[in-house]
Chain A
Amino acid sequence: MFRYALRRLLLTVPVLLGLSLIVFLIMSLIPGDPAQAILGSYATPENLERLRADLGLDLPLPQQYLVWLGNILQGDLGRSYALNRPVLDEVLERFGATLLLAGSSLVICILIGVAAGIVSAVRQYGWSDRVITLLVLIGISVPAFWLGMLMIMAFSVGLRWFPASGMTAAYGGGGLLDILNHLVLPAIALAVVAAGVIARLTRSNMLEVLRQDYIRTARAKGLGEGRVVMRHAFKVALVNLIPVIGVQAGFVIGGAVYIETVFQWPGIGRMLVNAISTRDLMLVQGGVLVVAASYVLFNLLADLLQHWLDPRIQA
């Protein structure tokens, strides 16, 4: 296990490098003078000169990449001229809020999705299966940003249960209760689509597993159906579902961009949208890099978890 973890960790390095290369290449697509584009209205001659030197813009592209990578490895993601502060500071500050939102959303969608999928599989073709299938269909078709707005209209404006926005920062402002209060609606809105996908795949996975010979063995041993489903079948289904959950985590992080905009959540998604409209490219680049890298690490964790649960996967 330890050796496998180490090997997997080492294998992540090229992925992270590739990731940085893609971000770098996308940034090099900037039409016109990159320094001009990055600085925008802050493009004083001195600033331009400094930035060109920092980014090595006079160098050929491969060397530029190395300079750029070197800066990043030293924790220098550049400077946001619009906010007048280092990109890394801003990104890290926002990242906590997104992590809180996406994390709770992921927990919600896993719990609901898996539970619904199991019920659906166990009651295949029964009325609960039909209802869940219908809900899943609605869930995976509904635009998250629209759902968020509907939820605000219903639960914030109509019923006044939860605030529509006003989350200041993940750590600032009120206590835990206040944070939770702000968290409920956006976390649920963000969870819906992924919950639908997870429910669907849990159902088909459980149906597949329940047909296996070792399930018949479990029944031949005289085990109760609850134990057969929840222990024998679900353990295998769970192992199969972990990569699915990894993929869904990517969609949840992506969806956070919309949900943060709808609920005025002070996370990295809203930061990116704002940065794009102010053409604060260094900030966009830094945000994308940090989120993508943490997503890669999340998938690494998912992979290790799967390996730990399934002894058949060879190191």
Chain B
Amino acid sequence: MMTFITLIARNRLAAFGGVMLLLIVLLVLITPWLPLADPNITETANRLMPPLSDGHPLGTDALGRDILSRLLWGTRISLAVGVAASLVAALIGSMIGIVAGYFGGRTDNTLMRGIDMLMAFPYILLALAIVAVLGPGLMNALYAIAIVNIPFFARNIRGVTVGIAHREFIDAARLSGKGNLRILASEILPNVLPVIVITMSTTVGWMILETAGLSFLGLGAQPPQADLGSMLGEGRKMMLNAPHVATVPGLMIFLVVMSINLLGDGIRDALDPRLKSGALSRPAPFTRIRRRHKPLPDPTNDDALLSVENLQTDFEVGHDTYQAVNGVSFAIQPNECLGLVGESGSGKSVTALSLLGLVASPPGVITDGRVALAGRDLLDLPHGDIRRLRGRDVSYVFQDPLATLHPLFRVGDQLVEAIRQHQPMSRADARTRAVSLLGQVRIPNPAHRAEQYPHELSGGMRQRVGIAMALANDPQLIIADEPTTALDVTVQAQILALIQNLRREKGTAVLFITHDFGVVSQICDRVAVMYAGRIVEIGPTKTILETPRHPYTRRLIDCVPRLGEPDNEPVAIPGLPPAADALPEGCAFAERCDLAEDACRQGNIELIATDTDRQVRCIKPLGIPTPSPQGVTR
């Protein structure tokens, strides 16, 4: 509760609304004791006095009555009626919702059908019909507004109740012989109460507004009784010669409703955990780059297609910084396939997305390093140039094509768009090319498939479309981020074979991201193993598979089920990687490593060359008696 109040208080607008509402409520509560003129005393001599007149701070109305006094008394009535209507609606609506949600079946069906019918009416129209029958009057307006708001409560409360009704503690209560009524009162009600309160906070403003509206139309409060709406209605008749008579009560309604809305929004936001985590932020088109300095190019990477040097990508959430990628370096030669392997959360995907600035930002920030494509530092390029590289020189294939293909465009159109973005081409030509691309990725009947939407294709077909899209502009490098993870084994093998073939035919280089060493062994020339945002081992696939140097690499390899050895169950690696905001000193893997010793937990462990073409980040690499101290690189 306390944290809730602090949350509201931190939201300045909500706090402002809360204070304003509190002031208004206090004011109308003490109105009977305030030294005010009688709101109903008519004084025709003093009629229509302007605001700031003697004895009438807000002036007088057509009958010479004091507007300030009438305003406060009217607000009292408006607030009371609005709150009462919302209580009635909450009571009846919640009862319907709870009963429907708890009993389900026919009861639920019948009740909710009725509610749907009520909601089929334009809101105010139903209230008008009710007032028409019952006759004008404040109480009748109250009933009418309450009735038309019942559906909101019934729906919301039913939703929550359905969620609770099948939980264990309800079943337990039922088994222990409690009657339905007891369960509803003692188990369900306490759990749905917060939702009732929230629904009230979002509807009470409306109800005050709408009852005032009915009074404004002359259907609510009848003279001499006056609420804000009927004051406004009276003021309308003299709108031209005495505008203050109408302006003042309207302003009051506005202030009341606005303060309730502000407070309600604040409550809603405070209860929405996504806001705090920043998950509702809009990702910018390019990842933010905030490098401390511009690193000089590493001359050993001169002939590489892509070289990544000391790349560092952080996630900044509130005041916390999570180091997702922590100084990663690797290079890819033309036509080479490099595997980037690690568990989820190791930073491999963030590394891949960092290359062309596709990490969601906020919260992502690239804080250091260099990403060079054919010698050009991409982190230094203007956004327009990066955009022209995306999909043309470097393209991506993402993991789950159902989520990564646009759901509302035909796959053919998505391909045409990718082609025409980078190649000036008529729509018809692009279409022909799109169909031929679908053919290249072995989609049968490509012309027909091009007309379909992603949800009409199978998972394997969708991923072929994803690959076709990546091939659209004959890129030099394809970054494939777990492209086969969502697929079953046979389809996975087909997709891998497809990538392998395309590489051979087109000479494309591939950065292949996966958690599966089995996949790596099938297509990667070299492999880099990542753990907790760093590369812990890198080298040719074959030798790493045969003689892993890092204990973590060996564990990953052990996870792969071997064909023909059904007894060889994959061993999941025990333990979890360290949290990215709490990286331990020394080796990040120490907690899960059988060979860990004190020295492992001290100081920074560098990536060291154990063989001519291999490097490992471990102080006692497997299969090497004493690591050679020379040839230390980062």
Residues in A lying within 8 Å of B, measured CB to CB: 15, 18-19, 21-23, 26-27, 29-31, 121-122, 124, 137-138, 140-143, 145-146, 149-150, 152-153, 157, 204, 206-208, 210-225, 228, 232, 235-236, 239, 249-251, 253-255, 257-258, 261-262, 272-273, 275-277, 279, 281, 284-285, 288, 291-292, 295-296, 299, 309-312
Given pairs A31-B134, A207-B282, 10 additional interface contacts (CB within 8 A): A141-B258, A149-B235, A207-B281, A217-B406, A217-B469, A250-B121, A251-B122, A257-B124, A262-B236, A284-B129
Q: Which of B93-143 touch A at CB < 8 Å?
A: 113-114, 116-118, 120-126, 128-136
Interface string of B333-369 (1 = CB under 8 A from A): 0000000000000000000010010101000000000
22 A–B contacts from the bound complex (CB under 8 Å): A18-B116, A22-B117, A22-B121, A22-B126, A143-B209, A143-B212, A208-B280, A210-B282, A216-B404, A217-B405, A221-B418, A221-B469, A222-B388, A222-B391, A222-B418, A253-B122, A276-B132, A279-B132, A285-B129, A288-B125, A292-B120, A310-B407
Hey, which chain A residues are within 8 Å of B247, CB to CB? 149-150, 153
Hey, which chain B residues are within 8 Å of A15, CB to CB? 116-117, 120
**Cross-chain contact of B404 among A214, A261, A284 (Cβ < 8 A):** A214
Asked whether any CB of chain A lies closer than 8 Å to the CB of B444, the reply is: no
Contact B246 A146 (CB under 8 A): yes
A184 CB, nearest partner CB in chain B, Å? 18
Hey, which chain A residues are within 8 Å of B116, CB to CB? 15, 18
A137 to B13: give the CA distance in the assembly, Å: 11
Asked whether any CB of chain A lies closer than 8 Å to the CB of B216, the reply is: yes
Using A214-B403, A217-B406, A288-B128 as known contacts, say yes or no to A258 and B217 having CB atoms under 8 A apart: yes
Hey, which chain A residues are within 8 Å of B124, CB to CB? 251, 254-255, 257
B201 CB, nearest partner CB in chain A, Å? 14
Using A221-B418, A251-B123 as known contacts, say yes or no to A214 and B387 having CB atoms under 8 A apart: no
Hey, which chain A residues are within 8 Å of B422, CB to CB? 222
**Cross-chain contact of B134 among A29, A149, A219 (Cβ < 8 A):** A29
**Cross-chain contact of B217 among A26, A208, A261 (Cβ < 8 A):** A261
Find the A residue at minimum CB distance from B453. A311
A307 CB, nearest partner CB in chain B, Å? 12
Interface string of B396-433 (1 = CB under 8 A from A): 10101001111111000000011001100000000000
Contact A312 B280 (CB under 8 A): no
Find the B residue at minimum CB distance from A29. B133
A243 to B124: give the CA distance in the assembly, Å: 19
A296 to B360: give the CA distance in the assembly, Å: 42
Interface string of B370-404 (1 = CB under 8 A from A): 00000000000000000111111001101010011
B88 CB, nearest partner CB in chain A, Å? 17
**Cross-chain contact of A277 among B117, B126, B136, B236 (Cβ < 8 A):** B136
Asked whether any CB of chain A lies closer than 8 Å to the CB of B257, the reply is: yes
Find the A residue at minimum CB distance from B209. A143
Hey, which chain B residues are within 8 Å of A138, CB to CB? 258
Contact A213 B358 (CB under 8 A): no
Contact A217 B398 (CB under 8 A): yes
Find the A residue at minimum CB distance from B13. A137
**Cross-chain contact of A220 among B282, B388, B396 (Cβ < 8 A):** B396
Contact B257 A141 (CB under 8 A): yes
**Cross-chain contact of B128 among A220, A276, A296 (Cβ < 8 A):** A276
Contact B133 A281 (CB under 8 A): yes
A19 to B125: give the CA distance in the assembly, Å: 12
User: In the complex, how many residues of chain B place their beta carbon closer than 8 angstroms to a beta carbon of chain A?
Assistant: 82
Find the B residue at minimum CB distance from A200. B265
A132 CB, nearest partner CB in chain B, Å? 14
Asked whether any CB of chain A lies closer than 8 Å to the CB of B74, the reply is: no
Hey, which chain B residues are within 8 Å of A288, CB to CB? 121, 125-126, 128-129
Q: Which of B277-304 touch A at CB < 8 Å?
A: 279-283, 285
Contact B261 A214 (CB under 8 A): no
Asked whether any CB of chain A lies closer than 8 Å to the CB of B169, the reply is: no
Hey, which chain A residues are within 8 Å of B5, CB to CB? none
A253 to B120: give the CA distance in the assembly, Å: 13
Find the B residue at minimum CB distance from A261. B217
**Cross-chain contact of A276 among B131, B235, B257, B262 (Cβ < 8 A):** B131
Asked whether any CB of chain A lies closer than 8 Å to the CB of B205, the reply is: yes
A27 to B126: give the CA distance in the assembly, Å: 12
Using A217-B404, A222-B421 as known contacts, say yes or no to A253 and B218 having CB atoms under 8 A apart: no
Contact B253 A143 (CB under 8 A): yes
Using A220-B390, A222-B390 as known contacts, say yes or no to A121 and B282 having CB atoms under 8 A apart: yes
Interface string of B526-568 (1 = CB under 8 A from A): 0000000000000000000000000000000000000000000
A239 CB, nearest partner CB in chain B, Å? 7
B36 CB, nearest partner CB in chain A, Å? 23
Contact A239 B403 (CB under 8 A): no
Hey, which chain A residues are within 8 Å of B405, CB to CB? 214, 217
Hey, which chain A residues are within 8 Å of B283, CB to CB? 210-211, 215-216
Contact A19 B390 (CB under 8 A): no
Hey, which chain B residues are within 8 Å of A273, CB to CB? 128, 217-219
B563 CB, nearest partner CB in chain A, Å? 33
**Cross-chain contact of A213 among B251, B395, B398 (Cβ < 8 A):** B398
Using A137-B261, A258-B217, A281-B132 as known contacts, say yes or no to A220 and B358 having CB atoms under 8 A apart: yes
